[in-house]
Amino acid sequence: MFLKKNKPKGTIILLILIFLLVSGIGCKGAPKELQEKIKPINLVYWRVDDGQDSFSYIINEFKKLYPHISITYKLIRAEEYEQALLEAWAEDRGPDIFSIPNTWLGKYKTKISLLSMNTDFSMAKTIIVGSIKKEKKIIEQKIKTPTLRGLRETFVEVVPKDIVVDNNKIYGLPLSLDILTMYYNRNFLNNKGIVNPPKNWDEFVSQTKAITLQDRYGNFVQSGAAIGTSKNIKYMPDIISLLMMQSGTNMSNDNRALFDKESMDDSDYYPGQEALQFYVNFASPSNGSYTWNKDMPSDLDAFVAGKTGFIFGYSDYLSAIKKQAPKLNFDMAKVPQISGTLKEVNYARYWLETVSKKSEHTEEAWAFVLHASKDANAKTFLERTKKPTAHRALIEWQMEDFDLQPFVKGVLTAQTWYKGKNYLLVKEAFEEMVDNVLYNGETIKKAIEYAVKRINLTY
């Protein structure tokens, strides 16, 4: 049997003082509602693609501000993400904070706890006061919500247009913003004496013709570009949308798709039809621009195999190409524009960090989103993920990055359009629109009108 030694009285007193300090007895003078606000809570955060190390700095800094709030970060596979969200919400175990692509905004409106602009709210935090006799004190910290001017000064143009509803509420905030970019095989251009990649679509047509090679049976030995078809081009809807918007097409409003309509400046001109015709010409054997067809592999596979000169994609293609074809001599450039245009148009795709309407801690969750989306904090995320910025203040910084510069060059002129409540149906409608023209003998006008009717079922 072992006998315990008695601790010195001074040690016991010191331990009691430490216990009182840590347990928060020094906070008893605080109002009850403030004491309630510092009870420990846990916020569950769901995302796709980016591991917890991408957020470790942001989460740790938030924890320093609010020690009573913990963040549980969960990474879910992209192909399982939406189903996991819907099942979790149905069982009331969903996340407090979650990410969605901007193409899902219409579908998830009813799932989001909107943040009111110009309506600040308070968070409680515990601080240690006193130089000799230290004690805990609970204070209120005001969280300032963004104003519309603040959003426009912080983010590039496309973001406030997408995320603000009813002029005073916010769906979510982005940490990055991806831009549709042109990838090109440098060797193909070098071999034809082409000094620079195309800056406009006239140059693009000329260069794709120059590098396209067919055998005696009409098979492509070397394709100029992956463009013109539906299913073997991953970002086909975005490429067509880009062409339409560059042509001056009014794509949609909050109530319906409009890209089958005539120009607002010329009742005899249908820019959507012109853009679609230009797109499918590249997959039409009877057209001089013919350079791609449905029998080709996927655009990315063709590019990494050295079978095509140009493809269009986002920053995810960059890492894929480097991994699959480390010796490929390739580069990126901004997408071509219409020759002679004074209005550059690029195309955006991005994710929003937002708060679930079912969360029991919506203010704390929004406080984290606001914290994460500050440019200084977003910068740490961008450094670790190598993604283009949505923040104006970080554009010049990323212009120094060799890989990201082609993407960042287009962020200020990036646009997108509202696609209703079911993006998958929109994608299917675009695929059918292209196929109806190429393989079913449909006119451009009829194909677009039918696509618009299908898409408007989702509004």
Query: How many CB atoms neighbour CB 422 within 10 A?
Result: 18
Which residue from 136, 128, 161, 164 is spatially nearest to 29, judged by alpha carbons?
Answer: 136
- According to the model, what pLDDT value does residue 18 have? 43
What is the distance between the alpha carbons of residues 175 and 155, in angstroms, rounded to a whole number? Answer: 10
8 A C-beta contact, residue 421 and residue 106? yes
8 A C-beta contact, residue 122 and residue 142? yes
pLDDT, block means (10 residues), the chain with 459 residues: 45 46 46 73 95 93 93 95 95 95 94 93 76 72 92 97 90 97 98 98 98 95 98 98 97 94 93 98 97 98 98 97 98 97 96 97 97 97 96 98 96 96 96 98 98 95
Instruction: Indicate the angle between helix axes 236-246 and 423-438, nearest 10 degrees.
Output: 80
- According to the model, what pLDDT value does residue 21 have? 42
8 A C-beta contact, residue 452 and residue 430? no
- According to the model, what pLDDT value does residue 31 have? 67
317 contacts: CB under 8 Å, gap ≥ 6? 183, 300, 311
Which residue from 92, 93, 54, 100 is spatially nearest to 73, judged by alpha carbons?
Answer: 54
**Residue located via tokens 């996991």:** 84
Which residue from 313, 322, 345 is spatially nearest to 415, judged by alpha carbons?
Answer: 345
What is the distance between the alpha carbons of residues 111 and 89, in angstroms, rounded to a whole number? Answer: 9
- According to the model, what pLDDT value does residue 328 have? 98
Task: Find residue 443's DSSP bridge partners.
Answer: none
8 A C-beta contact, residue 84 and residue 76? yes
What is the distance between the alpha carbons of residues 243 and 345, in angstroms, rounded to a whole number? Answer: 9
- According to the model, what pLDDT value does residue 254 have? 85
- According to the model, what pLDDT value does residue 30 have? 59
Residue type, 405: Q
Vertex 434, ends 428 and 435: CA angle to 5°? Answer: 85
Strand order in the sheet with 351-355: 69-75, 41-47, 97-101, 351-355
The DSSP code for 145 is P
Half-sphere exposure (CA, 13 Å, Cβ side) for 449? 7
What is the distance between the alpha carbons of residues 8 and 22, in angstroms, rounded to a whole number? Answer: 22
Which residue from 163, 123, 126, 151 is spatially nearest to 43, judged by alpha carbons?
Answer: 123
Burial label for 258, CB within 10 Å (0-12, 13-18, 19+), is middle
Query: How many CB atoms neighbour CB 295 within 10 A?
Result: 9
What is the distance between the alpha carbons of residues 231 and 426, in angstroms, rounded to a whole number? Answer: 14
- According to the model, what pLDDT value does residue 128 have? 67
What is the distance between the alpha carbons of residues 99 and 322, in angstroms, rounded to a whole number? Answer: 27
Query: How many CB atoms neighbour CB 97 within 10 A?
Result: 25
Going from the C-alpha of 425 to that of each of 165, 195, 373, 434, 442, the distances in angstroms are 23, 41, 31, 14, 20
What is the distance between the alpha carbons of residues 220 and 292, in angstroms, rounded to a whole number? Answer: 8
Which residue from 275, 388, 280 is spatially nearest to 334, judged by alpha carbons?
Answer: 388
